[in-house]
Amino acid sequence: MVLGKNNTVFDLLAYLCSLLSKEDERKYSTEWAVAGEEHVRDILNKYKNFLAVILNASANEYKFTDTEIAYLNKELIQLKKECKNNREDIYRLAIEVEKRIDMYSKWQNRGVVYRLEPLNTNHKKTGIAVYPHILPQWDTKKSERNRERKLNAAFTNYMIIRSGDVSPFEIIMHYWNDTGLLRKTEAGWEMSIALSSVMDYAVLETDERESPSGCTVRVKGIENEQIVKNRVLRIFDALFPKEYGMIVFPEILGSESILQAIKSRMREHPECCSFVVAPTICCDGRNTLVVLGPGGVECLRQEKTTPAILITEDGKNEREDLVYGNQVHLLITQELGLIAFAICAELLDPDYYRLLVDTALVDTIICPSFSPGVAAFRDTMLKGTPAKLLELYVNSCSAKAVSRNGKVAEPLACIQVPSAENEYCIRDIPRECQGICAEEICYFDVLVTCKDNKFSIVGVHRRCA
């Protein structure tokens, strides 16, 4: 028996997809690329009773009755037998089933922010996980993803992730059931973003060791934590009332104390619709990023998965001593699509980047960094142009502590947009302080505007007493 009691249309969709290999996907996607209405109509007529069950189930939260399960099992066994050497019907049927499932809707939601398991219960058995696929609020018709020979390119409201494509990582989805990050305009929308490099005088508490596999350095925390905390909170207190859609701090300059203070301030003003990427926290060998939503609600925690490799003053390679895991936390939103939060070196890991862009189909990448260089990050961000990604990057001036020349490369902040009014989709936001960190509040004020599906970026380095 294929389907069991309480199975849903998502279990059915996963099962159909599991009958197709990636080679089958490519083969039949190519063959159906120029199919006319007549060819599609033949399939619809052949499986009209089968597809009618999907529409009937929509009135019952897409759960099947016992009678429907018995019918579907009979049809699926016959279908698998008939299509053993020709899976063309299975490919098209999977597409037609997905088309008959409405968008992920309110009856499925369980709060404003929550962890979202695969929608199908048979994901371990089939090796297929079904998730909602919500497009971002910009035109993705010319994205290279629409040219891929995959089922996901033909699906409308959902996507599949094959377990074999995820290894060695594990994807954890979260869902934010609200809007408000973007401000609507007559011809599109705009989003205000604040990126803060914070300061250049944070002092890291580190522990360097010689191991059998080479030199390592562990960041244990911040020596001048109270000074850093005061600086971060001064900046946050100045930014939060301005109601930025996104406030992003860099890597490493965080602590649980700073995080709790930011949460407390956000709870006092739940009406402010801002997402805050708090400075990451280094403790017990882990580097943890926390994303806060309106009201200070914790959307997700992401532990860094990729250690950095640094070059010391004497030319030695030194590895970040990191207790790294393999979980990649992603946030589904109704405005920015699927958001990933890459912690510094993660963005430069080709396997990690391919997981985000090719497997998980993320639309927005936010990268807080603590790095002496920026060139590799800009090069990687440029790879997001064909997929029409929105990418944000911010570094910290305090990263000069890990630089061989005692300086941090510029720019400290840059934005990559899906398309632009001119040919350049990436914009550097230059700093105006000449590298001299005064007792001023420091951040990059960025306005991203989408007008008639074309993006423009206005960025200013702001310092205020």
The 10 Å CB-count burial string (b at 16+, else e) for 302-326 is bbbbbbbebeeeeeeebbbbbebee
Q: Is 409 exposed, middle or buried (0-12, 13-18, 19+ CB in 10 A)?
A: middle
Contacts of 396 (CB under 8 A, 6+ apart): 197, 198, 199, 200, 202, 250, 251, 252, 253, 369, 370, 408, 412
Q: Are 17 and 128 in contact (CB under 8 A)?
A: yes
**Taking residues 229-250, what's their average pLDDT?**
96
Query: 309 - beta bridge partners?
Result: 319
Choose the weakest-confidence range: 33-37, 61-65, 186-190: 33-37
The predicted model gives 235-246 an average pLDDT of 96
Which one-letter amino acid corresponds to residue 447? Answer: L
Which tens digits make up the pLDDT trace of 70-114?
999 999 999 888 887 778 899 999 999 999 999 997 666 678 899
Q: Using CA atoms, how far apart are residues 272 and 261, in angstroms rounded to an integer? A: 16
- pLDDT, tens only, 338-391: 999 999 999 999 999 999 999 999 999 999 999 999 999 999 999 999 999 999
pTM (2 d.p.): 0.96
What's the pLDDT band for 39 if we cut at 50, 70, 90?
Answer: confident
| Pairwise CA distance, residues 265 & 259, whole Å | 10
Of the candidates 153, 175, 171, 154, the one whose C-alpha atom is nearest the C-alpha of residue 162 is 171
For helices 37-46 and 48-57, the axis angle rounded to 10 degrees is 80
| CB distance 355 to 169 below 8 Å | yes
Q: What is the pLDDT of residue 1?
A: 64
Q: How much of the chain exceeds pLDDT 70, in percent?
A: 98
The two tokens of residue 252 are 């490493």
Say how far residue 125 (Cα) sits from the centre of its chain: 26
pLDDT of residue 106: 63
Which of 39-43, 158-162, 183-187, 282-286 is predicted most confidently? 158-162
C-alpha distance from residue 357 to each of 139, 167, 226, 353, 368 (Å): 17, 15, 38, 6, 18
- Average pLDDT estimate for 164-177: 96
Higher-pLDDT residue of 9 and 211 is: 9
Query: Which position has the higher pLDDT, 58 or 360?
Result: 360
The partner residues of 23 in beta bridges, in order of sequence, read none
Those residues with Cβ within 8 angstroms of residue 314's Cβ, 6 or more apart along the chain or in another chain: none
Flag whether pLDDT at 459 surpasses 70.
yes
Torsion-angle region of 320 (φ positive above 0: left; ψ -120 to 50: alpha; else: beta): beta
Query: Which two three-digit tokens encode residue 7?
Result: 């199975």
